[in-house]
Amino acid sequence: MNADYTITIKPSEIYFGVYRSLFRQQVHQLIAWGHRSARHSIQSNNEEEPNITGYITEAIRARLVTNSPPWCVYYFVHEDTPIAASGRSGRSRPRPDIIIETNLGGRPEYVFEAKRLRINGFEASKYIDSDGMGCFVSGLYASRYDEAAMLGYIQSDSLIHWKDQVKKTIDENAEQLCLESPQYDKTVIDVFPLEWVSEHKRVKAGHSIAIYHILLDCCA
């Protein structure tokens, strides 16, 4: 696919509403497959974020064309794809880490932003900042949708440690992040038992967003 592919078609709200639960489950499953297959490629606990994202998306693409259930024919995965943004063009356009798209009614997409989590340099404050969760809260990413997901690439300590740290940091910055209600646990698929959701008001987008938080063990 052309590297300058830009998503401009407004997805069908009817499709996304009716099939929301199944759509969410299937894109989660694709991330789970991608992460499981990508683990062997991670050689260091200092692996760069784009490298990990590349391993995951390459693994998803491979799964979509080989040994996959029938529903996979409807899905496509895009990595570091530029999206339309007011006043931004060319290389200055924002680029979400992963977009999983379906070719059914209106071509709805699920947008993922990823951040490393590791002591000494990649703390929870970076996960929530303007280049992380802030991209969703501001409406820069997934402005047409009322949900999206963050991927935490865990490079030190345990997943439960980072879940506690990130949730605490979100609560401490609730006003900045326009947090609307208490965070709550949500298991979409069994592979991600520690997943949770935070809900945020978005003034510019005109509607709120629910952010699903998925932590992935990326230790070498």
Per-residue pLDDT, 105 = 78
87 compared with 207, residue with greater pLDDT: 207
**Burial 164-173, CB ≥16 within 10 A → b, else e:** ebbbebbeeb
User: What's the one-letter identity of residue 52?
Assistant: I
Distance, in Å, from the CA atom of 115 to the CA atom of 94, rounded to the nearest integer, reads: 16
CB half-sphere exposure, 177, CA atoms < 13 A = 29
Encode pLDDT of 86-144 as tens digits.
554 445 446 789 999 998 877 889 999 999 999 988 999 999 999 999 999 999 999 88
For residues 209-217, average pLDDT: 97
Encode pLDDT of 60-94 as tens digits.
999 999 988 999 999 999 997 766 545 544 454 46
Encode pLDDT of 14-39 as tens digits.
556 656 889 999 999 999 999 999 99
* pTM exceeding 0.85: yes
Helix residue ranges per DSSP H, the chain: 13-18, 20-38, 49-65, 124-128, 134-137, 159-172
Residue 7 pLDDT class (50, 70, 90 cuts)? very low
Encode pLDDT of 174-198 as tens digits.
999 999 999 999 999 999 999 999 9
CB half-sphere exposure, 19, CA atoms < 13 A = 17
- Helix 49-65 vs helix 20-38: crossing angle, to nearest 10: 110
For residues 41-48, average pLDDT: 93
Distance, in Å, from the CA atom of 104 to the CA atom of 92, rounded to the nearest integer, reads: 30
| Chain position carrying tokens 């989590």 | 117
Residues 6+ apart with CB under 8 A from 141: 83, 94, 96, 111, 113, 135, 148
The residues with which 110 forms a beta bridge, in sequence order, are 100
Per-residue pLDDT, 2 = 36
Encode pLDDT of 148-175 as tens digits.
999 999 999 999 999 999 999 999 999 9
For residue 197 the two structure tokens come to 């959701």
Per-residue pLDDT, 96 = 86
For residue 17 the two structure tokens come to 């509403």
Per-residue pLDDT, 41 = 94
For residue 63 the two structure tokens come to 């799964």
